[in-house]
Chains A and B, each alone.
Chain A
Amino acid sequence: MKILVCIAQVPDTTSKIAFTDNNTAFATEGLTMIINPYDEWYALVRALELKEAGKATAVHLITVGKSEVEPVIRKALALGGDEAIRIDVDSNDPLVVAQEIAAYAKAQSYDLVLCGKESIDYNNGVVGAMLAALLDTEYVGFATKLDVEGNTASLVREIEGGEEHISSNLPLVVSCQKGMAEQRIPNMRGIMAARTKPLAVVSGTGAQAQSKIVAYEMPATKTGVKMIDADNMDQLVQLLHAEAKVI
Chain B
Amino acid sequence: MILVLAEQINGSFKKKTFEALQYAASIAQHNNDKVAALVLGSAQQDAMQELGAYGAQEVLHVNNAKFDAFSAKAFAKAMQHVATIHNATILIAPHDVCGKAVAPRVAALMQAGMVAGAIAHPTYNNGFEVKKSVFSGKAFTTIAITSPVKVITLVPNTFSVTKGEGLAAIQNVEVTINDADFATQVNSVEKVTGTIPLGEAELVVSGGRGMKGPENWHLIEDLAKVMGAATACSRPVADSHWRPHHEHVGQTGGTIRPNLYIAIGISGAIQHLAGVNSSKTIVVINKDPEAPFFKAADYGIVGDALEVLPKLKVAMEKFKAAN
Chain A interface size band reads 35 or more
> Which single member of A133, A134, A212, A227 contacts B301 (CB below 8 Å)?
A227
B129 in the interface, Cβ–Cβ < 8 Å?
yes
Q: Is there contact, CB below 8 Å, between B139 and A219?
A: yes
For the residues of A in contact with B, the DSSP-based class is mixed
Binding stretch for chain B, among A49-57, A64-72, A121-129? A121-129
For the residues of B in contact with A, the DSSP-based class is mixed
With A37-B252, A94-B114, A216-B140 known as contacts, the answer to whether A233 contacts B192 (CB < 8 A) is no
Residues on the B chain within 8 Å of A125, using CB: 100, 116
Q: Is there contact, CB below 8 Å, between B295 and A222?
A: yes
B12 in the interface, Cβ–Cβ < 8 Å?
no
Binding stretch for chain A, among B27-35, B36-44, B52-60, B196-204? B196-204
Chain B interface size band reads 35 or more
> Which single member of A122, A157, A219, A230 contacts B303 (CB below 8 Å)?
A230
**Shortest beta-carbon distance from A176 to chain B in Å:** 12
Binding stretch for chain B, among A73-81, A104-112, A187-195, A238-246? A238-246
Q: Provide the bound-state CA to CA distance between A240 and B115, in Å.
A: 32
With A132-B105, A211-B143, A237-B315 known as contacts, the answer to whether A230 contacts B301 (CB < 8 A) is yes
Q: Is there contact, CB below 8 Å, between A228 and B300?
A: yes
A148 in the interface, Cβ–Cβ < 8 Å?
no
Could you pull out 9 A-B pairs where Cβ atoms are within 8 angstroms?
A: A124-B117, A132-B105, A140-B184, A161-B200, A216-B134, A231-B311, A236-B283, A237-B319, A238-B319
Residues of B bordering A, CB below 8 Å:
71-73, 76, 96-97, 100-109, 111-117, 126, 129, 132-147, 183-192, 197-200, 202-203, 227, 245-246, 248, 251-253, 259-260, 270-271, 274, 280-281, 283-284, 294-303, 307-308, 311-312, 314-316, 318-319, 323
Other A-B contacts than A99-B108, A237-B312, A247-B319, 14 sampled, CB-CB below 8 A, are A13-B251, A41-B252, A95-B113, A123-B134, A129-B101, A168-B183, A178-B248, A210-B114, A211-B147, A216-B142, A219-B140, A230-B311, A233-B314, A247-B203
